[in-house]
């Protein structure tokens, strides 16, 4: 169990290390490999899933136990990106894991961001108009996926875990 946790942490740190590289080095190495890294916000991915975006595949590279505890709608679990047998016309979103040799999207923040921003969006009553617009967008997809958008007096310091979301029926 500890090894699996360390492997997941190493994979996440590996993806984060890609963002720490100088931009010129990143561009040339990714361009040479024929791949471009894109990130996608959880709310945008939720809209894609809700709207049934054609040829969308959500690939989850986490452990089987983590996948069974909670996974995104339409997500498929694979041990590696190579095992997914990807087609050239597909739009791929990696929930957590390393970037493959193709054009892919990586879910910004992984499952944690999904639960915070899609399943449990919160806003204060005195939020700015920009924050209010973002909340309104998130609350639409939140309700679609069985989430609970809330207006609160104070934003929570900690967020809801995946097990609590699963118990609600998502």
**Strand pairing category for 104-107 and 91-94:** parallel
pLDDT band at 6 (very low <50, low <70, confident <90, very high): very low
Residue 136 has pLDDT above 60, yes or no: yes
What pTM value is reported for the model? 0.61
Domains, the chain, ranges and CATH? 2-105 (3.40.250), 115-167 (no CATH)
155 confidence band (pLDDT: 50, 70, 90): confident
| 36-89 per-position pLDDT tens digit | 668 899 999 999 999 999 999 999 988 899 999 999 999 999 888 778 888 888
φ, ψ for residue 39, nearest 5 deg? -115, 160
Strand partners of residue 105: 38, 93
What does the alpha-carbon distance between residue 7 and residue 47 come to, in Å, rounded to a whole number? 30
Q: What is the distance between the alpha carbons of residues 84 and 151, in angstroms, rounded to a whole number?
A: 40
């Amino acid at each position: 169990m500890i090894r699996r946790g360390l492997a997941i942490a190493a994979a996440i740190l590996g993806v984060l290390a890609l963002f720490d590289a100088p931009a010129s080095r990143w561009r040339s190495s990714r361009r040479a490999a024929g791949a471009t890294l894109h990130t996608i916000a959880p709310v945008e991915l939720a809209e894609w899933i809700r709207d049934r975006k054609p040829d969308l595949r959500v690939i989850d590279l986490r452990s089987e136990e983590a996948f069974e505890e909670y996974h995104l709608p339409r997500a498929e679990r694979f041990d590696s990106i190579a095992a997914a047998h990807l087609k050239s016309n597909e739009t791929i979103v990696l929930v957590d894991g390393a970037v493959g040799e193709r054009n892919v999207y990586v879910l910004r923040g992984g499952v944690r961001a999904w639960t915070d921003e899609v399943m449990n969006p919160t806003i204060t009553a005195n939020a700015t108009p920009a924050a209010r617009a973002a909340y309104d967008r998130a609350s639409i997809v939140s309700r679609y996926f069985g989430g609970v958008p809330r207006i609160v007096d104070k934003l929570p310091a900690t967020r809801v875990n995946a097990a609590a979301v699963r118990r609600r029926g998502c």
